[in-house]
Every structure is written in C-alpha cells, then in structure tokens.
Amino acid sequence: MKYTTLPNTDIKVSKICLGTMTWGNQNTQDEGFSQMDFALDKGVNFFDTAELYPVPAKKETYAETERIIGNWFAKTGNRDKVILGSKIAGTGDYTAHIRTNGFTKDALNDAVNDSLKRLKTDYLDLYQLHWPERDTNTFGKRDYNYNSKDKWEDNFNEILHNLDDIIKSGKIRQIGISNEKAWGTMRYLEESRQHNLPKMITIQNAYSLLCRPFEGDLAEVAHRENIGLLAYSPMAFGVLSGKYINGTAAKDARLNVYSHFSRYNSANATEATKRYLKIAEDNDMSLAQMSLAFVNERPFVTSNIIGATNLQQLEENIDSINVSLSEDVMKAINAVHAEIPNPAT
C-alpha cells in the first residue's frame, strides 16, 4: 500500500480508501465485516462512510452502514487502526427522513452525536458536509442554472464556527466538504483564513475516466489551497470494469438496480468505455486497474475511494495501487478524453 497525509495534518492515510455505501443494502453485515477485515489486512487504513448510507437513501435502511461499521469496531477492537470519515446529509427530497434543518448548529450536533453512537466511537477523524445546502449543479448536473427561488442565505461563517465548537469538544478532528463547487470551496477557505476558523482540508467529489470536470477550476483550487480530493465513483458505478459492455454484469449490479445513475451508461459513456477498454487490453491491463491507477496517480488526489460488492472485486481494486501508467497510455487516455470529454457528468 502507498500512503499520504490528509492535507495540513500529520494524519497518515492509505492512497486507497474503503468506500462503504453498499453495506446494509447490496451487502450484508457479514460481507461488510469481511471487506473491512480484508482491506485492513491489505494496508487500507482509511474508511469513508456517511449517515445517508446505504444508497439509495431510504427511511427503512437509514444509517445502517454506520451501524455495521460500529458493530465491526465492537467485535474487533480495530478503531485505533482506522482513519474514519463520515458525513452529514445535506437537504433534499430524498433526505427528508433524516432532518430538514440543513447545517444549523442543532443539525450538526445531532448528526455528529448520532453518528458517534452508531459507529461506537468517541471521535471522527474527518467530518464532511455531504453536499451544499444552496441550489447548485451537483450530482451529474453539467451546467449551473440560476434559480431565482433559491432561499439559501450565505452561512459559511456560521457553519465553520459551529464545526469549530465540535472540534474543540474532541468529537471530530478535521473537516471536509463533498460534492462542492469551486465557488463554495473558496468561500469556506476565505472564511477560515479571515476569521481564524478551521480549514476544510478535503473535498470528496466524483472523479473517473468518464467524469473529469474536477480538472477545471477545482484542480487549481486543490493545488494552490492545499485541499485534497477524495475521489469517489472512480469506477463510474462499475462501468469501468467493462462488465456492462461485455455483458457479464450480474442482475443486481448497481446500474441494473439504480436507474437514476443512468448518466454512467449513456451512449457517449459507453463509447468512451469501449475505447478505454481497448487501451487497457493493448497494454495487458484490466480496464478496472487502468481506471483506478489513473485516479491514484493524479497529483491532486489524496485518496481514491473504492467500493466493491464482493472480495474478488475488492482485491482487484486495491491491487491497482501497484499499477503505473506509461506516458503512452496516458496519451491514449487523453486522446479519448479530447474526443468524448466527461460523458458521465
């Protein structure tokens, strides 16, 4: 395994992060336990979860993923071996069963306290805001559309003050954002700088061969402001395994179950995937390992969040840390990207 540190800290994390959003829905507790045992044995010390999980978010399974992780900690005593991140859900129609008061002081305190209970721990190493409260283009929306009915009011300073209080209580160590845009990221950073408030050290956004918009403004923000990308969906919901175009996907594979992620199997995404598969085959790699190695090697990526529904997938994904992409492979990848840019955004 290769390791880095969370930006602006001395917290050592594996370059591969274990994603958990299928546990409690596609995966049972025992399967989640097996994945955590295997990942830890392979040197993965960074786990990412959220109160929202498992996905898709439903009242019946709310926060089951955190409960599974907490039960594993209780069984194994491995809390001190893991750098643990979780998230507070943002506002939205499909999170109304969680809470409706956004990132207020009460909401943040309730969310942190409830996560700690479920996770059976006294602290979180990284606590993240799952997506912005304001109306902006997240979750596959390519363009920003001004909404005159958006009632959101600037509360970046208030949020950071409230998070500062929770940090001082010892319940969280560091803070980050997720599904955020360049403007929101810079607003948080400016408030931190101007008012001596905690700094957002990570940003967890989608990033893969099929989804590279982070390389625009946010890559420069990450570079110049020292905020690290925690890349999620590096396999584009399994599309970049090649199993859908090869016809080997199981009936319960993610895109066969969750139709609302159809952007990953659009005509352009499928064509780009076919071209990436050819590059991988021509260079004696699996498409999965080439796709993950691409993310692992980006200079703005702090950790690559991989998820799997079985141990065979997990092993292949973790082993991508040992794959290096040649200059010729990168040229071929970027040639496809130039012709079919960001088909899954």
Number of domains the chain is built from: 1
Q: Would you state the pLDDT for residue 142?
A: 80
| Entry pTM | 0.95
In this predicted structure, the answer to whether residue 250 has a pLDDT above a threshold of 70 is no
- Position with higher pLDDT, 238 vs 254: 238
In this predicted structure, the answer to whether residue 49 has a pLDDT above a threshold of 90 is yes
Least reliable range by pLDDT among 27-41, 45-59, 143-157, 173-187: 143-157
Residue 253 binned pLDDT confidence (cut-offs 50, 70, 90): low
Residue 255 binned pLDDT confidence (cut-offs 50, 70, 90): low
Quick: pLDDT tens for 171-227.
999 999 999 999 999 999 999 999 999 999 999 999 999 999 999 999 999 999 999
Name, of 88-92, 129-133, 264-268, the range with top average pLDDT: 129-133
Asked if residue 330 is part of any domain, the answer here is: no
Average pLDDT score over the chain: 93
Asked if residue 36 is part of any domain, the answer here is: yes
In this predicted structure, the answer to whether residue 257 has a pLDDT above a threshold of 80 is no
Asked if residue 247 is part of any domain, the answer here is: no
- Mean pLDDT to the nearest integer, 87-99: 87
Choice among 53, 127, 232, 264 that is catalytic: 53
Q: Would you state the pLDDT for residue 145?
A: 84
53 has catalytic annotation: yes
CB 128 within 8 A of CB 86: yes
Asked if residue 301 is part of any domain, the answer here is: yes
Nearest-5° Cα angle at 133, 169 to 103? 20
In this predicted structure, the answer to whether residue 96 has a pLDDT above a threshold of 90 is no
Q: How far apart are CA 322 and CA 320, in angstroms?
A: 5
Q: Would you state the pLDDT for residue 13?
A: 98
CB 235 within 8 A of CB 294: no
Q: Would you state the pLDDT for residue 90?
A: 86
Q: How far apart are CA 31 and CA 37, in angstroms?
A: 10
Q: What are phi and psi of 131, to 5 degrees?
A: -165, 165
Least reliable range by pLDDT among 145-154, 167-176, 232-241, 318-327: 145-154
Q: How far apart are CA 63 and CA 237, in angstroms?
A: 21
Asked if residue 149 is part of any domain, the answer here is: yes
Domain with 137, as residue range(s), is 3-241+291-325
Only one residue has tokens 């995404």, namely 269
Asked if residue 260 is part of any domain, the answer here is: no
Q: Would you state the pLDDT for residue 168?
A: 98
Residue 342 binned pLDDT confidence (cut-offs 50, 70, 90): very high
Q: Would you state the pLDDT for residue 201?
A: 98
Domain CATH for 94: 3.20.20.100
Asked if residue 281 is part of any domain, the answer here is: no
In this predicted structure, the answer to whether residue 256 has a pLDDT above a threshold of 70 is no
- Mean pLDDT to the nearest integer, 264-284: 95
> From the DSSP assignment, how many helices (H) and strands (E) are in the chain?
11, 10
Residue 258 binned pLDDT confidence (cut-offs 50, 70, 90): low
Q: What are phi and psi of 247, to 5 degrees?
A: 75, 25
Quick: pLDDT tens for 128-144.
999 999 988 877 678 88
In this predicted structure, the answer to whether residue 154 has a pLDDT above a threshold of 60 is yes
- Mean pLDDT to the nearest integer, 12-36: 97
Asked if residue 259 is part of any domain, the answer here is: no
In this predicted structure, the answer to whether residue 109 has a pLDDT above a threshold of 80 is yes
Q: Would you state the pLDDT for residue 252?
A: 58
Q: Would you state the pLDDT for residue 115?
A: 98
